[in-house]
Amino acid sequence: MACDLVGRNFVSMLDFSREEILEVLETARKLKAAGVPVMPQGEPVKAMPLQNRTLAMIFQKPSLRTRVSFETGMTQLGGHAIYLAPTDISLGKRETTEDIAIVLSRYADIIMARVFGHDIVEDLAKHSTVPVINGLSDYEHPCQIMADFQTIIERKGKLDGVKTCYIGDGNNVANSLMLGAARVGMHMTVITPKGFEPKSEVFKTATEAAVSTGARIAVSNEMSAIDGADVLYTDVWASMGQEAEAQQRKSNFAGYTIDEKAMKIAAPDATILHCLPAHYGEEIDYQTSRLPSSAIFDQAENRMHAQKAIMLHLVG
């Protein structure tokens, strides 16, 4: 293995260098292509590489893709995953996050956390003695972006120089896309209504990180910014925890939709991505989601392959 990630955490896209991201993605490609476990070096293995290893999965937020992809992936690698529901672990309430991290480190080989506050997953990583993976926080969604990158490579053959436009709320997905794009040299424009842009500090950090790779990071309020885009990406207008704002957001985000009109502005072979779940008729229409250029279900499948690769590299 050229890059040694053993024992590291994956809380943010910035936790991995460009070379490390690309190496993990190459492992994910090999895992998907082989259909059987392979080590990061690429050779198939007779024994399950994570046999007798345990993944502790902490969930504050429910999820279809995160739970099933991690649990299935761990099983395929020969390991075991334990689902810890919100009522099983009341983070910071019944006991401190520090104590939970220390205790789980004595039982499990990896901890994955899908939480509300980003500070929670950072606290877990600070006090854990085993690798911690951010399955989602309100600030970043790095595992999703690794699957996105794998999908873009499958469709475009590369990441470097690919023009990607994200249309929607400046949320955790937008944050991780900007940071990840900056790392790998992918051009990234976040297109959102006024008042819903990503946090300025994320944009600043991504712009600074992009200097070494030549990535162009931008934020726009105009749908015309998708002109010539190689990839169009969207997410729901109201994320989990924003249900009270959903009706107002429908008005705020009207027109910020991937549909036939948008596809005519983007590059003729533009790939469509959506991290799901989709609200058809809002951020994307059903017909467009089913076009041959749509990779949304490849993207969902790749969550499992990318996460398997991440776990293999972190555990060794």
Which tens digits make up the pLDDT trace of 8-59? 999 999 999 999 999 999 999 999 998 765 566 666 555 589 999 999 999 9
Q: What pLDDT, on the 0 to 100 scale, is given for residue 62? A: 86
Instruction: Tell me, yes or no, whether 260 and 289 share the same domain.
Output: yes
- Are 37 and 48 contacting, i.e. CB atoms less than 8 angstroms apart? yes
Q: How far apart are CA 124 and CA 137, in angstroms?
A: 12
Instruction: Tell me, yes or no, whether 169 and 281 share the same domain.
Output: yes
Q: What φ, ψ does residue 218 adopt, rounded to 5°? A: -145, 160
Give the confidence band of 238 by pLDDT, cuts at 50, 70, 90: confident
Question: Which sign does the torsion angle of CA 192, 196, 198, 200 carry?
Answer: positive
Q: What pLDDT, on the 0 to 100 scale, is given for residue 46? A: 55
Q: Give the mean model confidence (pLDDT) for residues 294-299.
A: 98
Cα dihedral value 292, 293, 297, 300, nearest 10: 170
Q: What pLDDT, on the 0 to 100 scale, is given for residue 36? A: 60
Instruction: Tell me, yes or no, whether 121 and 33 share the same domain.
Output: yes
Q: What pLDDT, on the 0 to 100 scale, is given for residue 113? A: 98
Q: Active-site residue numbers?
A: 114, 141, 144, 235, 275, 303
Structural domain contains residue 82: yes
Instruction: Tell me, yes or no, whether 252 and 114 share the same domain.
Output: no
Q: What pLDDT, on the 0 to 100 scale, is given for residue 226? A: 98
Share of the chain above pLDDT 70, in %: 95
Which tens digits make up the pLDDT trace of 270-283? 999 999 999 999 99
pLDDT higher for 155 or 245?
155
Q: How far apart are CA 238 and CA 306, in angstroms?
A: 26
Q: What pLDDT, on the 0 to 100 scale, is given for residue 239? A: 77
- What distance lies between CA 279 and its chain's CA centroid? 19
Least Cα distance to 169 among 233, 261, 263, 264 occurs for 233
Q: How far apart are CA 21 and CA 310, in angstroms?
A: 9
Instruction: Tell me, yes or no, whether 131 and 26 share the same domain.
Output: yes
Share of the chain above pLDDT 90, in %: 88
Could you tell me the CATH number of the domain that includes residue 173? 3.40.50.1370
Instruction: Tell me, yes or no, whether 118 and 195 share the same domain.
Output: no
Q: How far apart are CA 20 and CA 36, in angstroms?
A: 22
Question: Does 92 score more than 70 pLDDT?
Answer: yes
Instruction: Tell me, yes or no, whether 134 and 148 share the same domain.
Output: no
- Are 117 and 284 contacting, i.e. CB atoms less than 8 angstroms apart? no
What does the mean pLDDT of the chain come to? 94
Q: What pLDDT, on the 0 to 100 scale, is given for residue 294? A: 98
Give the confidence band of 70 by pLDDT, cuts at 50, 70, 90: very high
Q: What pLDDT, on the 0 to 100 scale, is given for residue 35? A: 78
Q: How far apart are the first and last CA of the chain?
A: 10
Q: What pLDDT, on the 0 to 100 scale, is given for residue 39? A: 62
Q: What pLDDT, on the 0 to 100 scale, is given for residue 48? A: 84
Structural domain contains residue 2: no
Structural domain contains residue 59: yes
Q: What pLDDT, on the 0 to 100 scale, is given for residue 40? A: 66
Q: What pLDDT, on the 0 to 100 scale, is given for residue 93? A: 83
- What residues make up the domain containing 188? 144-299
Q: How far apart are CA 70 and CA 316, in angstroms?
A: 17
Instruction: Tell me, yes or no, whether 113 and 235 share the same domain.
Output: no
For the chain, give the DSSP string.
--S--TT--BSSGGGS-HHHHHHHHHHHHHHHHHSS-B-TTS-B-SS-TTTT-EEEEEESS--SHHHHHHHHHHHHTT-EEEEE-TTT--BTTTB-HHHHHHHHHHH-SEEEEE-S-HHHHHHHHHH-SS-EEEEE-SS--HHHHHHHHHHHHHHHS-STT-EEEEES--SHHHHHHHHHHHHHT-EEEEE--TT-PPPHHHHHHHHHHHTTTT--EEEES-GGGGTT-SEEEE--SS-TT-GGGHHHHHHHTTT--BSHHHHHHS-TTPEEEE-S---BTTTB-HHHHTSTTB-HHHHHHHHHHHHHHHHHHHH-
Instruction: Tell me, yes or no, whether 230 and 258 share the same domain.
Output: yes
pLDDT higher for 247 or 159?
159
**Measured between alpha carbons, how far is residue 207 from residues 11, 52, 100, 203 in Å?**
20, 42, 36, 6
Question: Does 86 score more than 60 pLDDT?
Answer: yes
**What type of residue is 228?**
G
Structural domain contains residue 221: yes
Q: What pLDDT, on the 0 to 100 scale, is given for residue 243? A: 74
**What type of residue is 23?**
E
Total number of domains in the chain: 2
User: Is the N-terminal amide bond of 131 cis, ω within 30° of 0?
Assistant: no
Which tens digits make up the pLDDT trace of 134-183? 999 999 999 999 999 999 999 999 999 999 999 999 999 999 999 999 99
Q: What pLDDT, on the 0 to 100 scale, is given for residue 230? A: 98
Instruction: Tell me, yes or no, whether 137 and 148 share the same domain.
Output: no
Least Cα distance to 218 among 272, 270, 276, 164 occurs for 164
Instruction: Tell me, yes or no, whether 29 and 103 share the same domain.
Output: yes
Residue recorded with tokens 């490609």: 29
Structural domain contains residue 69: yes
Structural domain contains residue 272: yes
Question: Hey, what are 188's tokens?
Answer: 């990234």
Q: Give the mean model confidence (pLDDT) for residues 222-240.
A: 94
Structural domain contains residue 134: yes
Give the confidence band of 240 by pLDDT, cuts at 50, 70, 90: low
Instruction: Tell me, yes or no, whether 196 and 252 share the same domain.
Output: yes
Structural domain contains residue 74: yes
